[in-house]
Chain A
Amino acid sequence: MPFSRKMKVTYPNGLVHIIMTLTAPIDDRQSQVIQFLLRSDSEADAPAENLIKFDRQVTHEDMTILAACDDDVPLSLVGELHMPTDRPGLEMRRMLGKLLAEHGEAEVRRGAPVPQPLASAAE
């Protein structure tokens, strides 16, 4: 939580392919995507260049769609329509909502009043 994932894929022959995608929020609209792989084989088995090439194509396909989505994602389940396969994303919304509540925050959406920054201790 909130913006990193580790995806471990184990293939039938025992090969382990772990994708780490670490996403640093620059601002509401932009994210810095940092991705690296952990593989249980050697450069001689599969050159890094080829592995990157395939994942490059896949991430471009995602980026094209995601860059055009609304960056102000509602945590509440109203505002978007859902289907059963959305369960992981819905669980993320629920858990982020809980995190905010535990820290005395409410979800802030665009167009809603922005909370004032806390006064510093010196004031």
Chain B
Amino acid sequence: MLATRQPVLRRFWYPVMPAALVDQGPQPFTLLDERIVLWKDGNGRYAAMADRCPHRSAALSKGWVDGNALVCPYHGWAYDGRGICVRVPQRPDSGGLKGTAVQSFACTERYGHVWVALDEPLAPIPDWTEESDPAYRRIDQFYEPWNCAGFRLMENSFDNAHIHFVHRRTFGDINDPNPPQPTIERFDYGFVARSDVPVFNTDLQKKNLRDDGAFTVRHITAHWYMPFLRRLHIRYPNGLDHIIVTAATPIADGSCQVVQFCFRNDTETEAAAADIIAFDRRVTEEDREVLEGTDFDAPLDMNSGVERHMPSDQPGLLMRRMLLELLAAHGETEQTRHYAGRQAAE
């Protein structure tokens, strides 16, 4: 599937940037090949628009905010958050231009990040109660582009078999390569997978988890929110919650912006945020090393013969099936280079 060629993927919310970055001034981002500018107006409202002045195509992200308007750096034409031109300095009496001059997109702030939907969203941004629960803290972990398809990171997140190979140096046990099968329940635009995975406990993790055992068990409740968002809730035997939210926000067919934060029900004294990030950093680097070498045009049709499968691939296969159903429900077929001209539903 080539993400930028499936218009229905424009109908989902994606976290695109830490709000703190947008607070510093207008910022450019590329979402599904669409160049957008993110900015905050004088009333504190975040806005997302095409990063292109309709006059001479200058990047509005190089401009500045004046009150509730974003000012183009080239000739000073100014736009409100809906993309309406409210001022043309060379025509001071005109009051701007009639109609929408710059395309604007749905934009809001949640969990310390600015989220954007390019077309009318099909599903809301998930509610995660830990954000407002005083028992939990949020730790912002990563914000960086990866050269792989968002889908590859999603299927990786639910693939318990990769742990014992990709993460053999951090928490996997290469001598116990056959993981238990998760139980999976579907919901609208996603699923939840539950499993208990025995893992190796490194020295850094003994400290982070406050568990001295050589091995521990991850009680995993993992949500997949279509198409490129997951929440991985790991509960350790001592009651510690490590809840990782990871978005693989699609930049283009072959790249995604990894946005990751976690919720923890312990304190900074018990486990320093820097140590928690350090461990997850090692783990994500291990994933990145492998995923950036994968084909970004992941075939959704599991019978195409392009990829081979095994029983532990079940979550990733369900993702493929559900994405194909989504495409079909919106009158689309899978766009791919693998079986050009063939209908995926055949």
Contact = CB atoms under 8 A, between A and B. Distances in A.
A80 B62 contact: no
Given A65-B73, A65-B74, A81 B58 contact: no
A68 interface: yes
B56 A80 contact: yes
A83 B101 contact: no
B59 A83 contact: no
Contact of A70 (B57, B62, B91): B57
Tell me whether chain A's interface is mostly helix, strand or loop, or mixed: loop
A70 B52 contact: yes
A68 B90 contact: no
B84 interface: no
A119 interface: no
Of B56, B58, B88, the most chain A CB neighbours within 10 A belong to B56
A81 B57 contact: no
Given A65-B73, A65-B74, A70-B52, A83 B88 contact: yes
A77 B57 CA distance: 13
Interface residues of B, number: 16
Interface string A64-99: 110011100100000011111110000000000000
B131 to A, nearest CB: 36
B88 to A, nearest CB: 6
Given A65-B73, A68-B62, A69-B59, A81 B54 contact: yes
B77 to A, nearest CB: 9
B273 interface: no
B34 to A, nearest CB: 14
B54 A83 contact: no
Contacts of B57: 69-70, 73, 80
A83 B76 CA distance: 12
B55 A81 contact: yes
Contacts of A68: 58-59, 62
B97 interface: yes
A80 B101 CA distance: 10
B123 to A, nearest CB: 32
Contact of A82 (B55, B59, B74): B55
A80 B58 CA distance: 11
22 contacts: A64-B62, A65-B62, A65-B73, A65-B74, A68-B58, A68-B59, A68-B62, A69-B56, A69-B57, A69-B59, A70-B57, A80-B54, A80-B55, A81-B54, A81-B97, A82-B55, A83-B55, A83-B88, A84-B90, A85-B75, A85-B90, A86-B55
* Nearest 9 Cβ contacts at the A-B interface: A68-B59, A70-B57, A69-B57, A81-B54, A81-B55, A65-B74, A85-B90, A83-B90, A65-B58
